[in-house]
Amino acid sequence: MNRDVLLKIYNAAVARALPAETLLPRLKNIRPAGRLLVFAAGKAAGSMAKAVENYYAAQNMLARIEGIAVARPGYTLPLARLEMVEAAHPVPDEKGIAATERTLALAATATKDDIALVLMSGGASANWIAPARGISLEDKRELTRALLKSGANIVEMNCVRKHLSRIKGGRLAAALAPARVITLAISDVPGDDPSVIGSGPTVPDATTLADARKILEKYKISPPASIAAALNDPANESPKPGDTIFANTSFEIVATPKASLEAAAEAAKTLGYEPVSLGPDVEGEAREVAKEHAAFAIRCKREGRKVAILSGGELTVTIRGKGRGGPNQEYAMALAMALNGEPGIIAAAGDTDGTDGGAGSADDPAGAFVDETTLSRAKKLGLDPAGILGENNSTHFFETLGDLLAPGPTFTNVNDLRAILVDT
């Protein structure tokens, strides 16, 4: 297996989304009369906050910065001026609650002379946790676990989250008024919808309480009583497009899945492959998408094409077993099974944030590698791929084979990168 080629393609996608490069051009005209209040959340919170500190330190303006950055374990960085907090992901914890309360308290001090710089990235929905009135942290945790197991996609999950929060769904913008609010975001969602990234704390929300209730019904989720009550309370409806609280706000996406997929394609072409992009917003059940991609790869092989089949997006996993894994590892397992040892085809699937599913640990793998020997090596080791897949235990499978993709935290997040290389 030529992992070096696959790693170069994966690393090119990650590099295109690093905040040190993407943020700087956007900071040149941000010069407040008063304070620069910085609020960062998500997997890139530490690296985005550090890029901001470095820029304003060079401008001799560091003393005017106040704020707080919240990231998942392993994704924090040392900061000179801003407070850096580690909070759980994907299931929220008490540290996230405390950090969010401090975020809202600082937001409430904003004046018309201040500029609020909000730095958003994937994972913010779990890191910024401020339950609506009457909802306990444990109730939110129970609901989050149910949504994660259900197979709901990120748009659906964040619709529900926005209607159970005091910071999501435009409410941070309301808290920051009358300050000017500038949001810079790294997108990890299909279509780069600002209202979905981090559950849209500074932008209008077109979804409704009724939409949130329908999502729970769709996935047959029976929420705790407090959440059911909150989703029937008109007071928890989110601010809508046209609301005056957004009059002094702006939103810009600084890194996208599309741009990273293009970087991967450029790397593949340099390495001698014809890049074939399936798009940055591929969705669906991981194991089903893998079957489709395997069939396409085999067809390319039969046609004598030397191609790199590339795709982004975020796949889902409906959890039926009790194993460890994530969408990329599950995709890789299903892909290996569908390819069935087809020679000349290798692949890697990995989350650009450096971790794929798991229990929220920084040393969780990002994904896995596949080649024509995957199944034969598994057989020699007594592994049953179909049984393991049925238990959603893909981490065990690839860990036993030594085929995990484990770069560690990348401090950015533009969703998944899947690369299938077909040699003639």
Tell me the pLDDT tens digit for each residue of 169-192: 999 999 999 999 999 999 999 899
| pLDDT bracket for residue 293 (50, 70, 90) | very high
Are 66 and 22 contained in the same domain?
A: yes
Closest CA to 417 of 299, 284, 327, 324: 327
Q: Please tell me the predicted confidence (pLDDT) of residue 109.
A: 98
Are 283 and 415 contained in the same domain?
A: yes
Are 249 and 279 contained in the same domain?
A: no
The residue with greater pLDDT, 319 or 177, is 177
CB atoms within 10 A of CB 77: 16
Whats the size of the chain, residue-wise? 424
pLDDT at 1 over 80: no
| pLDDT bracket for residue 151 (50, 70, 90) | confident
Q: Please tell me the predicted confidence (pLDDT) of residue 393.
A: 95
Instruction: Tell me if 210 is assigned to some domain.
Output: no
CA distance linking residue 249 with residue 265, whole number of Å: 35
pLDDT at 232 over 70: yes
Instruction: Tell me if 29 is assigned to some domain.
Output: yes
Instruction: Tell me if 336 is assigned to some domain.
Output: yes
Instruction: Tell me if 154 is assigned to some domain.
Output: no
Are 321 and 188 contained in the same domain?
A: no
Instruction: Tell me if 406 is assigned to some domain.
Output: yes
What's the rounded mean pLDDT across residues 152-157? 93
CB 382 within 8 A of CB 316: no
Are 182 and 34 contained in the same domain?
A: yes
Instruction: Tell me if 5 is assigned to some domain.
Output: no
Are 175 and 321 contained in the same domain?
A: no
The residue with greater pLDDT, 149 or 10, is 10
274 beta partners:
307
Closest CA to 196 of 234, 254, 157, 140: 157
Domain count, the chain: 2
Q: Please tell me the predicted confidence (pLDDT) of residue 76.
A: 96
3-state secondary structure the chain: CCHHHHHHHHHHHHHCCCHHHHCHHHHCCCCCCCCEEEEEECCCHHHHHHHHHHHHHHCCCHHHEEEEEEECCCCCCCCCCCEEEECCCCCCCHHHHHHHHHHHHHHCCCCCCCEEEEEECCCHHHHCCCECCCCCHHHHHHHHHHHHHHCCCHHHHHHHHHCCECCCCCHHHHHHCCCEEEEEEECCCHHHCCCCHHHCCCCCCCCCHHHHHHHHHHCCCCCCHHHHHHCCCHHHCCCCCCCHHHCCEEEEEEECHHHHHHHHHHHHHHCCCEEEECCCCECCEHHHHHHHHHHHHHHHHHCCCCEEEEECECCECCCCCCCCCCHHHHHHHHHHHHHCCCCCEEEEEEECCCCCCCCCCCCCCCEEEECCCHHHHHHHCCCCHHHHHHCCCHHHHHHHHCCEECCCCCCCCCCEEEEEEECC
CB 183 within 8 A of CB 27: no
* Phi and psi torsions of 405, nearest 5°: -95, 110
Q: Please tell me the predicted confidence (pLDDT) of residue 363.
A: 85
Closest CA to 158 of 110, 212, 102: 212
Are 250 and 348 contained in the same domain?
A: no
pLDDT at 357 over 80: no
pLDDT at 244 over 80: yes
Looking up residue 108, the CATH number of its domain turns out to be 3.40.50.10180
pLDDT at 359 over 80: no
Check whether the bond before 90 is cis (ω within 30° of 0). Answer: yes
pLDDT at 262 over 90: yes
What's the rounded mean pLDDT across residues 4-32? 94
pLDDT at 350 over 70: yes
In the listed set 220, 255, 290, which residue is the last one of a domain according to the structure? 255
Instruction: Tell me if 411 is assigned to some domain.
Output: yes
pLDDT above 70: percentage of residues in the chain: 99
pLDDT at 413 over 70: yes
End-to-end CA distance of the chain: 15
| pLDDT bracket for residue 418 (50, 70, 90) | very high
Are 244 and 272 contained in the same domain?
A: no
Instruction: Tell me if 226 is assigned to some domain.
Output: no
CA distance linking residue 320 with residue 90, whole number of Å: 18
| pLDDT bracket for residue 300 (50, 70, 90) | very high
Q: List the structure tokens of 85.
A: 């907090």
Are 335 and 409 contained in the same domain?
A: yes
What's the rounded mean pLDDT across residues 257-277? 98
Give me the torsion for CA of 62, 68, 243, 113, rounded to 10°.
-30
Range of the structural domain that residue 392 is part of: 258-422
pLDDT mean across residues, the chain = 96
| pLDDT bracket for residue 402 (50, 70, 90) | very high
Closest CA to 186 of 417, 412, 21: 412
What's the rounded mean pLDDT across residues 66-93? 96
CA distance linking residue 41 with residue 127, whole number of Å: 6
Are 81 and 104 contained in the same domain?
A: yes
pLDDT at 374 over 70: yes
Are 324 and 368 contained in the same domain?
A: yes
Give me the torsion for CA of 317, 318, 320, 322, rounded to 10°.
40
Q: Please tell me the predicted confidence (pLDDT) of residue 362.
A: 81
Are 385 and 320 contained in the same domain?
A: yes
Does the pTM exceed 0.95? no
Looking up residue 367, the CATH number of its domain turns out to be 3.40.1480.10
| pLDDT bracket for residue 21 (50, 70, 90) | confident
Q: Please tell me the predicted confidence (pLDDT) of residue 168.
A: 98
What's the rounded mean pLDDT across residues 54-83? 96
Closest CA to 353 of 35, 10, 5: 10
How would you class 348 by CB atoms within 10 Å of its CB: exposed for 0-12, middle for 13-18, buried for 19 or more?
Answer: buried
